[in-house]
């Protein structure tokens, strides 16, 4: 029987990891009328249970009461957003398996090289895993490509000390299947998100979109730690902009070695960066609060790809080395 468009819209939605990005997605979906389950832990879980979720976007504040649960109790979901720092995935994703059935679409809202990058990639490294993001290839074996919607996060958000999440600017996501197919499930998810105010497009070449974001993150996040600069300053101070450009050039060349042209030209990436406000990157926020830096997925994984090709990346390696040194000395 033909299902109506509305009936295909996801009904069981879960967000695992309710920090800045998970909180933003949860708040906006709940404001649009969706019941959202969340998986949280520790102090964040206690705070959500006690006072709920506050999300500020533009001039409005959304107050929501997401339904807290454990993966084993929540059951199989239609959509599962996973919004943690990349280094949490090897421990976290296996614990989420009770929520993943054959039809579940898993959306990793995570920066850096995704663990599934070489799933259905079709090149000479097809099927290989990258140790820095997926030790032992465990994640690669855990989830078939058919369950995954690759995701590029263009949401700028910050969680405050009281747990409230501030969204800066217009939230946007790009979704795309690892095999490039455009199917009804992903189309309905994109429509659901767009209706909730998260402008979502579907890419049939998600790796090209990923490389744009991976290049931007490699060029800005470690440099923001090294310099203490906001995104605005990174793209406006001539000395910093020169470093940003040098790293973008290296990332663009690396993408080329893997047969991908990033979805944006280098100049377009810089243009985009120049429009950014005085926002601290997620890595600078982590640095300031003494949290681990997400360098494994954002930097080391790309260096691992560079090593496979004998490609040097000196500008990026120097900045990442300094950022890591500062983090160690905190
Ligand atoms: N913030 C931003 O503006 C942007 C962030 N991103 C990317 O989005 C991803 C998520 O970032 P962001 O939301 O900022 O990160 P946060 O650190 O703000 O949030 C991560 C959340 O996940 C929770 N978490 C981690 N491990 C577990 C676990 N095992 N069980 C339950 N909860 C867990 C953390 O809890 P706890 O506090 O207990 O560790 C925290 O609440 C990252 O890859 C980031 O780079 C991308 C674009 C912009
Ligand atoms: C694009 C940028 C730098 C800001 O949203 C980001 O992805 C981050 O802070 O990690």
Across the chain, what does the average pLDDT equal?
95
Contact 40, 65 (CB under 8 A): no
Lowest-confidence pick of 3-7, 54-58, 231-235: 3-7
- Tell me if 22 CB under 6 Å of ligand 1: yes
What percent of the chain lies above the pLDDT cut of 70? 98
Question: Can you tell me the mean pLDDT for 40-52?
Answer: 97
pLDDT of residue 6: 47
Question: Can you tell me the mean pLDDT for 182-211?
Answer: 96
Question: Can you tell me the mean pLDDT for 276-289?
Answer: 94
pLDDT of residue 75: 95
- Tell me if 301 CB under 6 Å of ligand 1: no
Question: Can you tell me the mean pLDDT for 123-145?
Answer: 96
- Tell me if 155 CB under 6 Å of ligand 1: yes
**Residue range 149-179, pLDDT digits in tens:** 999 999 999 999 999 999 999 999 999 999 9
More confident residue, 8 or 16: 16
Residue 3 has pLDDT above 50, yes or no: no
**Atom 5, ligand 2: which residue's CA is nearest?**
156
More confident residue, 141 or 9: 141
Residue 90 has pLDDT above 50, yes or no: yes
Residue 79 has pLDDT above 90, yes or no: yes
Using the mean position of ligand 1's atoms as its centre, give its distance from the Cα of residue 84 in Å: 4
**Residue range 244-266, pLDDT digits in tens:** 999 999 999 999 999 999 999 99
- Tell me if 263 CB under 6 Å of ligand 2: no
* CA-to-CA dists, residue 51 to 33, 37, 43, 66, 133, angstroms: 19, 16, 12, 11, 34
Domains in the chain, CATH or no CATH each: 8-204 (3.40.50.720), 208-328 (1.10.1040.10)
pLDDT of residue 173: 98
pLDDT of residue 257: 97
Question: Can you tell me the mean pLDDT for 58-86?
Answer: 96
Confidence at 9, pLDDT banded by 50, 70, 90: confident
**Residue range 94-116, pLDDT digits in tens:** 999 999 999 999 999 999 999 99
Which residue from 242, 158, 159, 260 is spatially nearest to 206, judged by alpha carbons? 260
Cα 20 to Cα 164: distance, rounded to the nearest angstrom: 9
Using the mean position of ligand 1's atoms as its centre, give its distance from the Cα of residue 20 in Å: 6
pLDDT of residue 134: 97
ipTM rounded to 2 decimals: 0.98
Confidence at 8, pLDDT banded by 50, 70, 90: low
Using the mean position of ligand 1's atoms as its centre, give its distance from the Cα of residue 82 in Å: 9
**Residue range 215-238, pLDDT digits in tens:** 999 999 999 999 999 999 999 999
Residue 288 has pLDDT above 80, yes or no: yes
Q: How many other C-beta atoms are found inside a 10 Å radius of the C-beta of residue 230?
A: 18
């Amino acid at each position: 029987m033909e299902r109506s468009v509305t009936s295909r819209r996801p009904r069981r939605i879960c967000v695992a990891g309710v920090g800045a990005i998970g909180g933003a997605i949860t708040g906006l979906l709940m404001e649009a009328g969706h019941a959202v389950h969340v998986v949280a832990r520790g102090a964040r879980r206690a705070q959500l249970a006690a006072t709920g979720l506050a999300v500020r976007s533009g001039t409005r504040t959304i107050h929501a009461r997401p339904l807290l649960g454990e993966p084993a109790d929540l059951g199989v979901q239609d959509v599962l957003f996973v919004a943690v720092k990349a280094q949490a995935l090897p421990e976290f994703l296996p614990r989420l398996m009770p929520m993943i059935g054959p039809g579940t679409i898993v959306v990793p809202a995570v920066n850096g090289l995704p663990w599934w990058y070489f799933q259905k990639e079709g090149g000479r490294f097809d099927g290989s895993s990258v140790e820095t993001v997926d030790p032992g290839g465990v994640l690669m074996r855990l989830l078939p490509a058919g369950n995954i919607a690759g995701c590029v996060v263009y949401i700028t958000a910050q969680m405050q000390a009281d747990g409230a999440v501030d969204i800066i600017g217009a939230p946007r996501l790009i979704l795309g299947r690892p095999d490039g197919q455009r199917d009804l499930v992903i189309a309905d998810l994109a429509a659901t998100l767009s209706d909730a105010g998260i402008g979502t497009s579907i890419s049939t070449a998600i790796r090209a979109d990923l490389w744009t974001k991976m290049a931007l993150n490699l060029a800005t996040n470690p440099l923001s730690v090294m310099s203490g600069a906001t995104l605005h300053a990174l793209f406006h101070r001539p000395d910093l902009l020169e470093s940003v450009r040098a790293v973008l050039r290296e990332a663009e060349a690396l993408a080329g070695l893997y047969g991908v042209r990033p979805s944006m030209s280098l100049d377009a990436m810089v243009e985009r960066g120049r429009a950014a406000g005085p926002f601290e990157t997620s890595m600078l926020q982590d640095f300031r609060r003494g949290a681990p830096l997400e360098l494994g997925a954002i930097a080391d994984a790309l260096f691992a790809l560079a090593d496979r090709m004998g490609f040097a990346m000196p500008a990026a390696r120097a900045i990442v080395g300094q950022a890591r040194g500062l983090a160690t000395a905190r």
